[in-house]
Amino acid sequence: MDAVDVIRTKRDGGELSAEQIDWVIDAYVRGVVADEQMAALAMAILFRGMTGPELSRWTDAMIRSGERMDWSQLDRPTTDKHSTGGVGDKITLPLAPTVAACGAAVPQLSGRGLGHTGGTLDKLESIPGWRASLSNAEMLAVLREAGAVICAAGEGLAPADRKLYALRDVTATVESIPLIASSIMSKKIAEGTGALVLDVKVGSGAFMKTREDARELAETMVSLGEAAGVRTVALLTDMSTPLGLTAGNAMEVRESVEVLAGGGPADVVELTVTLAREMLAACGMSGAKDPAEALRDGSAMDSWRRMIRAQGGDPSAPLPAAAAHEVFAASSSGVVTELDAYAVGVAAWRLGAGRARKEDPVQAGAGVELHKKVGDRVTAGEPLATLYTDEPARFHSALAELDSGYRISDSAGPVERALVLDRVSA
């Protein structure tokens, strides 16, 4: 095999053979195929796309580049959720222990934030003592003790994706739907879960801005999951405005704990319960305890505390707080008709809650707390949001972003948009 021939085949609109795909993925991991050659192939895939058989084989080759985890020792079915990322999207935190409280096991491998989207691991690391890196044996022990584990993917899981993901980020090939789908699904299938629910975000704060693109991605991922023997369902959910009232690491943990205590913002509760029911149904436990009841009776909170303690964290410890804060007030009276998720996400990022590069540090206490959302009435001078950071010099740029995200009108405001927009299944 030769890398140039593989690149040329795809560049000219041809279909890569199974042998070509197996070879190029394996050779790239071994360093035989250089970064510049894989970058050229990724660009060719972005322009030419991939057929169903090509994409299935490509994803399978990425899975086979590393280990595939096995949870057959557990006495309960496994189910997981993956979100394509958004602003204020802390759903994994209340969701995993809620599903565990209903009788399923949740082996959740999560990531860190980049740019305007938050990362689950960054949020959880604001809890004193909590560890993101666990061995497979430690993951199994936490699952047995708490029913759910949230941690970082190990080095042995889909190493081909790790290399290719970093390359796509610096070569303007991130937007390719086949490459997005194979990246997500190679890790999730290798994770070893029996069922998977995908939360595909749509809107300004999401990677997929239109419903059409989001549905194409959802259908592609569902097809890949089902082909690999993983029961897979996708929901398209709204990310035109932030989820909940917080965007920032420790603040989102606090809000998640409020949900687990039976309170919290209505949209966060709704999506947690909706996704939990889908996860239970996907792994054959639709007749189990209802997730809404698990939130009401405290069993979801019990699972959360067991999970945090099992990973070295103290669920009762105070969460970090930022050193400085500044209020963003309304310049006029009326009704909030727009609160752009992207603007809020960028504001939180500029305050220090996110990172521009993977190696950048994040501030645990930084972020944005929202006091008014779409449909709320406000008077001039009333607080719309409070900004938090350890570095007051960051306020200026963050306030400018937030100012562009709020729109206040004299009218009654827009018709409320549904949180769940569509459902995709095999």
Question: Catalytic site residue 131?
Answer: no
In the set 110, 183, 204, 240, the catalytic residue is 183
Alpha-carbon distance of 290 to 294, in angstroms, equals: 7
Question: Catalytic site residue 133?
Answer: no
Which of 236, 196, 187, 240 is CA-nearest to residue 212? 236
Question: Catalytic site residue 183?
Answer: yes
Query: What backbone torsions phi and psi does residue 151 show, to the nearest 5 degrees?
Result: -155, 175
In the set 187, 231, 350, 394, the catalytic residue is 187
Question: Nearest 5°: CA angle at 92, between 179 and 257?
Answer: 160
Sign of the dihedral through C-alpha 231, 237, 239, 244: negative
In the set 10, 57, 81, 82, the catalytic residue is 82
Question: Catalytic site residue 161?
Answer: yes
Which residues are registered as beta bridge partners of 368? 247, 387
Alpha-carbon distance of 309 to 41, in angstroms, equals: 45
Contact 409, 369 (CB under 8 A): no
In the set 81, 116, 163, 168, the catalytic residue is 168
* Residue 74 structure tokens: 């557990």
Question: Catalytic site residue 186?
Answer: no
- The residue type of 38 is M
Contact 161, 62 (CB under 8 A): yes
Report the first-to-last Cα separation within the chain, whole angstroms. Answer: 35
Query: What backbone torsions phi and psi does residue 338 show, to the nearest 5 degrees?
Result: -150, 135
Alpha-carbon distance of 315 to 233, in angstroms, equals: 32
Alpha-carbon distance of 256 to 254, in angstroms, equals: 5
Alpha-carbon distance of 187 to 201, in angstroms, equals: 19
Which residues are registered as beta bridge partners of 83? 199
Alpha-carbon distance of 210 to 227, in angstroms, equals: 26
Supply the residues annotated as catalytic.
82, 161, 168, 183, 187
